[in-house]
Structures are given as structure tokens and as C-alpha cells.
Structure 1
């Protein structure tokens, strides 16, 4: 008797759109803060925890279920970045007690992580993702530098890089969603 193999088609949605949306909105909110548009941390913390953190963790787990290692690592990794960043802002000893050196090194490590993922996007060849990850690495390195050398203008530059990153990630997320319903936005 021969065995019969039944293949079940995966008809679930693309978790990349959710992950990129969470990442883009949290990044945009932080960029506005870093550029001095508003001084308070609460909107940044809320976006970091619930949109950047939880939405990306969920997207990472959904990508894992689909067998997509790149998206699993990227979304889960940056989901925990946003949660850990929020913790730095709300911890009892808060960010004021964290040194510029420690924050700079923290951000530098995330930039190195992002660079590893950038190499993956180059193999994928999706231009929109390449732009997102180039801007991501640039943002982390400029932000890290703003803490390591403490030049105020670098803080604004980091916020502007983050704004470009958030806008590129938002475009990519919306392109995924809108292309699925019939638009043909370039990716």
C-alpha cells in the first residue's frame, strides 16, 4: 500500500505588513520626539510597547508559523528592541540615570544586528526592504554616535534619519497591503 501525501495551501495573510506598520509608526513617533517636535516621553513609550513591541512580536510569531526565518528574526528582534527601549524610558532609575556611553553601545549593538539583516535584504532583492534596512542601520549608527560623542546636532540628525526610516517602512507596509488588493505599487 502506498502512502498519499496531502499538501495544504497556506492561505494566511502576510505578517510583514503588520510588522512593518508597527515598526514604522513607533519609529515615526520617536523621530518626532528626537527632532524636538514634542518633549514628553509618554507617546513614545505607548507606541514602543503596544505598536512597535507587541505588534512586531506578533508579526514575528506569525512569520515563524509560515516558516519565514528572516521575518521571524527581524520582527521578533525589533519587537524586543522596542520593549527594551520603553523599559529604559520607564524604569525606576530611568534613562536619565543611563549614561550616554551605555545608551550609545546599546544602540550600536542594534545597528550591528540591523546590518546583518541588511545583508539578507540584499539577497532578497526587494528594493523597498533594502531602503528600509539601509535607513535602519544609518539611524542606529547616527543615534549611537549622538550618545557616544554628545553633539546636539547629531540628535536632530538621528531624528531625521528615523523619520526617513519610518516613512520608508510605512510605504513598504502599505505597498504590501495595497498590492494584495490589486494596486501595483513598486516594491
Structure 2
């Protein structure tokens, strides 16, 4: 009997999309970083995406597996950057803005290559990765320059990016549930 795995992409995209929206509502200046963002970063943006990535690898989907596991660990590392200094871990001093900018720029470069991997595929998937590339680079620029306006612009883009990931998740999920394409992607 064949062991067929379900499509883990909707789970991974929802974990990414919802967590990205919440963080970027913060970047817009509407709310502080709080337990809401930290918890979503650990459990849905982090752990759920890693699970989705492992399942994608089991389905021999290298791109999806790499994306979901990488961004799952992005969320866990981001929470670690915030929490470790607050927990008094001696080796974990608060990260200088210029070094945090390097962290974000590296994620932007990685995401740019991932965007390249979407060319020829779904237009919505291309948009998710392009907007995420720009988001990381804008956030890096904001941290490097200390320009909060760039961070607010990035926040708006981040809400759009996260929303597009949720749209793609629902398009794939509804297509499977309804056994036909419901939302274009």
C-alpha cells in the first residue's frame, strides 16, 4: 500500500504568513514586541514551518523543504536574538543595530536566491518571495541607517507579504478540499 503524504505547504505558508503579519504590525509601530509575536515566532512561524518542511522533504520537494525549514529556524533565531539577552544569558548581549542589519541582509540574500527558484512557477509564490526579499533588505537598511521611516515602509510591505502567503495557502488548501482550482495562483 502506498504511503501518500498530504501537501504540507498550506501549513507552512500559514505559519509564515500569520507570523509575518503580526511582526510587521509591530514594524508599522502599532504594537510592541510582546508574547503574541514571540509565541507565534516559536510555535507557528518556527515549529509548524519546520514540521511542514520535513514533510515537504519526505514528499521529495527540495525547494519547499528548504524554504519552510529555513524560515522556521529564522523565526526561532529571531526570538532567540530578542530573548537571550533578556534572560540574562551572559554570552548573549543585546545585538548592535549594525550587526542585526547584517543578519537581516543575509536573510535577504538567501531569499533573493529562493525567489529566483520560483521563476516559471506560481505568480503568487513569486510575489511572496520577491516581497520577502525586499522586506529583509528594507529592514536591514532601516537598522543600518537608524531610519525608522524605512522600517515603517518595510512593515507595510511585510503585512502585504504575509497576506500573500496566507492567500497562497488558502488557494492550495481550497483546491484540494474542493478538488478544483478555486482561487487563482
TM-score relative to the length of structure 1:
0.91
Instruction: Look up the SS of the partner of 1:181 in the other structure.
Output: helix
Establish whether residue 158 from structure 1 lines up as the match of residue 151 from structure 2.
Answer: no
> How large is the Cα RMSD of the aligned pairs?
1.6
Structure 2 residue matching 1:91: 3-state secondary structure: helix
- Kept in 1, the 8 Å contact 2:85–2:94? The answer is no
Q: Is the 8 A contact 1:22 1:56 kept in 2?
A: yes
The partner residue of 2:69 within 71, 76, 81 is 76
Unaligned runs of 5+ in 2: none
Aligned position for 1:112: 109
- What's the offset of the Cα at 1:97? 1.9
The 1:61–1:115 alpha-carbon spacing in structure 2 relative to 1, beyond 3 Å, is same
Q: 1:158 Cα deviation (Å)? A: 1.2
Contact persistence 2:85–2:93 (CA under 8 A): no
Query: In the TM superposition, what are the counterparts of 1:31-180 in structure 2 within 5 Å?
Result: 31-92=24-85, 97-123=94-120, 125-180=121-176
How does the TM-score come out when normalised to structure 2?
0.92
Q: Which residue of 1 aligns with 2:184?
A: 186
Greater CA radius of gyration, 1 or 2? 1
Shift of 1:13: 1.1
3-state DSSP of counterpart to 1:92? helix
- Pair 31,64 (structure 1): closer, same or farther in 2 beyond 3 Å: same
Gaps of 5+ in 1: 1-7
